[in-house]
Amino acid sequence: MSEVIQRLLAAMNAHDLEAAAALFHESYKSVQPAHPARAFVGRRQMHANWAAMFAGIPDFHAEVISSADHGNTAWSEWTWAGTRSDGRPFDMRGVTIFEVEDGLITGGRLYMEELERENVGIAETVQSLAGRRPDQPARPAD
């Protein structure tokens, strides 16, 4: 795991907003490719976003499941969990891909999604996506 990801994880788990924000470049560019309207630019917006997250999820906790670095790119699989201030569970899973230059995160592509609470299986999901249910695979002969 890269030093930047280790420091980000520690800052998030300590709810140390200033330490977390200090890891991001002033002109940080964030995109969520599955949610294009969520894109933003700037450390100030990152700071505002996470101030709201820490306030709304007072027991927020992050875990890095796996991480790999390639050049200036840090790929990490995360679990974010806690309880919202209204008592509802908070549980997100996904991947972040951060561009890092001179020890600062300059860009991020976040593929974080809230954990699905409904028991929707693969057949129902394929039907929802494609408009038809998948055929049942043939069972192997005994």
For the domain spanning 3-130, the CATH number is: 3.10.450.50
Sheet holding 104-114, edge to edge: 40-41, 24-31, 104-114, 89-101, 73-83, 61-70
Helix residue ranges, H only, the chain: 3-13, 17-21, 43-56, 122-130
Band of pLDDT at residue 78, cut at 50, 70 and 90: very high
User: Does the pLDDT of residue 1 top 80, yes or no?
Assistant: no
Give this prediction's pTM.
0.86
Give the start-to-end residue ranges of the domains of the chain: 3-130
Band of pLDDT at residue 141, cut at 50, 70 and 90: low
pLDDT of residue 87: 97
